[in-house]
Amino acid sequence: MASIRYRNSLYQVQIRMKNLSLSQSFPTLQSARRWASCEEARIIRESDPSYRYRPHSLAEVLENYQRRILIDKGRSHPDRWIVQAFLKLGWIGKPLDQLSVQDIADYRDQRLKIIKASSLHRQFFVLRHALTIAGREWDWDVPEGLLERVRIPLKAPQAIRRITQKQQIKLLSTCLETGRKDMHLIVLIALRTALRRSEILSLNWKDIDLDNRLITIHHTKNGHYRTLPIAKDLHLQLSEARRAEEGRLFTLSANALRLAFDRIRAKADLKDIRFHDLRHEAISSFFEMGLTVPEVAMLSGHRTLSMLMRYSHGQLDRVRSVMSSGGIP
């Protein structure tokens, strides 16, 4: 079983199994997980040559995916819920070579009566990723194209929810009115940096360079660290809040943050605003500042630029203004 810890700016992996002990260090969490997963699969495969060809069930795939890939995600992470829900299904215990397209299609039809197509897309994404990992990294015999042959309705494009300046002020002031200075700083960080909830909660004081006005994010969704500038008002708040050179900025769990934000938005009469909308608002404001898509991607951590294009529609007025004034020089 592999253990991963972050030390001296590196992710250190330790594997102890089958009377073997291996260790390696990596610059990103993603590369550490990949190495650990591949090495564990190799050790099992070499100790039992028939393991690769033994018929595995989809339940085994998901159980191993949860143990190896989702191990560093919090207990409340949506992907964990999805895997747990799949494991309760009867047909999930079938060997992979006995699973049929009809099994998947029947599940799709049942779920679409209860949930939105967007939620089903997310469930299938997790299932597809687990099968891909099992085939490529664990060398399991996984049938190809099983999920690809099942059609799922296209997700309707979601409009970006904007938070007005008045709403931002109301949200921040309510944090202070309720005595939650920690939530005031969290909300301000989200609005000024576009950091995800998990990225904010993983921040340490050593990641904050107040002299150069920079924040370095090590624990990211995609495993790639990034550095971004600190806005003037955020710099002031961080300077006032700093109590130590090391340690975490916040001791809240993801669930505690969610509950606190729910109470604050309810008191502020802003129940329609979700925490992730703060990230959307920050990204939209980056574009309004005149930043390009690659520049915004550098700040937001998006690895696929197409994901940012839905935020850039507000640039149409600026482009139209340039074109109407004689075009781009």
How much is the pTM?
0.57
**Which structure tokens are listed for 13?**
């992996």
Grouping H, G, I as helix, E, B as strand and the rest as coil, residue 93 is helix
Per residue in 112-153, pLDDT (tens digit) is: 888 888 888 889 999 999 998 888 888 788 887 778 888 887
Q: Mean of the pLDDT values across residues 89-101?
A: 85
Q: Is the pLDDT of residue 179 over 50?
A: yes
pLDDT of 318 reads 52
**Which pLDDT band holds residue 187 (cuts at 50, 70, 90)?**
very high
DSSP 278: H
**Which pLDDT band holds residue 322 (cuts at 50, 70, 90)?**
very low
Average pLDDT of the residues of the chain: 83
Calculate the alpha carbon distances from 324 to 102, 241, 315, 327 in Å.
Answer: 56, 48, 14, 6
**Strands (DSSP E) found in the chain:** 2-7, 10-17, 20-26, 208-209, 214-217, 226-229
